[in-house]
């Protein structure tokens, strides 16, 4: 089938594009390259350097006629959302609405939307969070990602557009940009390999649910199946890992000899969160397969290879 992937030049989106191509699908990528990289887009994919907020998006739909839309494009930084909430809402809500209107007008058969299990729930009242947990985000990013979930329900009820929402945990792995809006694994790895000073925001005891990027890509493949009913699915390992644990494992892998400094905690970030993915196990036949130690080692090896190529 033909699948249009927004944000397909980004860290996670590019892995999804590759997996779709490997499974025989035709892929169209729409990405404005504000945080993604053209080099991440496989040659076999058709590429449009377009912002999802632009009216040109409708022309792409008219020309390509995708059967499925996979929506990864987003303003994904909690810090930027706190500093620039209007920008966050413009990209994540209005941009998504522009995409939904294009999907409605051009007969898209299914929309896969990437939400945030790490941000929409806010500070959990119980752990691990399942999909029935109260949604009380404490940052604009979490609000904007959740708002679109409501629009998806509306478009299914009113226009018959099936959807699958994947609420991601903290995703890490190859291609995450340590110099960009990256997660802690990429930032720490980049600083350790460059032997630079490293700062932990907060006291380091805050916990996240870390899942390797290839596992998240597999969920996007499973979401294509016609028997998957419209709904919301958490992805996660079901356990929390502290930032200090991540720091120590990466320090052991890289041989980093520096000592971490501690800075102020980031406004709007949840202190402790991990997700119950039982619904994804039942409905998508999905569960993570890459353990944390192996995934972190593979991530470090990727960054080492990249640094060696750049130095050559």
**Residue 141: active-site member:** yes
Q: How far separated are the first and last CA of the chain, in Å rounded?
A: 40
**Cβ 72 vs Cβ 29: under 8 Å:** no
Dihedral of the alpha carbons of 296, 142, 56, 51, in degrees to the nearest 10: -50
Among the options 48, 121, 141, 155, which is catalytic?
141
Measured CA to CA in angstroms, residue 61 lies from 31, 45, 186 at distances of: 14, 15, 34
Angle, vertex CA 26, rays to CA 23 and CA 32, nearest 5: 115
Residue with tokens 């119950």: 276
Closest CA to 102 of 148, 150, 141, 53: 53
CA distance 141 to 79: 9
Annotated catalytic residues are: 141
């Amino acid at each position: 089938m033909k699948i249009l992937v927004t944000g397909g030049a980004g860290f996670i989106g590019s892995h999804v594009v590759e997996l779709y191509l490997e499974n025989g699908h035709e892929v169209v990528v729409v990405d404005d390259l504000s945080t993604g990289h053209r080099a991440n887009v496989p040659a076999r994919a058709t590429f449009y350097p377009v912002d999802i907020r632009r009216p040109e998006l409708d022309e792409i739909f008219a020309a390509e006629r995708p059967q499925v839309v996979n929506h990864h494009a987003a303003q994904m930084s909690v810090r930027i959302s706190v500093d620039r909430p209007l920008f966050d809402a413009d990209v994540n809500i209005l941009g998504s609405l522009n995409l939904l209107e294009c999907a409605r007008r051009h007969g898209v058969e299914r929309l896969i939307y990437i939400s945030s299990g790490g941000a929409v729930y806010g500070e959990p009242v119980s752990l691990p969070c399942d999909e029935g947990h109260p949604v009380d985000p404490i940052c604009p990013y979490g609000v904007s990602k959740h708002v679109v979930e409501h629009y998806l329900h509306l478009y299914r009820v009113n226009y018959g557009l099936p959807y699958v929402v994947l609420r991601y945990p903290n995703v890490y792995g190859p291609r995450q940009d340590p110099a960009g809006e990256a997660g802690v694994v990429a930032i720490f790895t980049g600083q350790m390999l460059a032997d630079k000073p490293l700062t932990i925001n907060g006291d380091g005891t805050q916990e996240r649910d870390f899942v390797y990027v290839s596992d998240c890509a597999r969920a996007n493949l499973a979401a294509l199946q016609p028997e998957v009913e419209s709904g919301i699915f958490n992805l996660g390992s079901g356990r929390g890992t502290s930032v200090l644990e991540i720091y120590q494992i990466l320090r052991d892998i890289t041989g980093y000899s520096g000592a971490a400094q501690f800075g102020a905690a980031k406004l709007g970030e949840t202190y402790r969160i991990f997700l119950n993915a039982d619904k994804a196990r039942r409905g998508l036949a999905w569960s993570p397969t890459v353990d944390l130690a192996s995934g972190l080692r593979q991530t470090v090896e990727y960054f080492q290879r990249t640094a060696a190529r750049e130095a050559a």
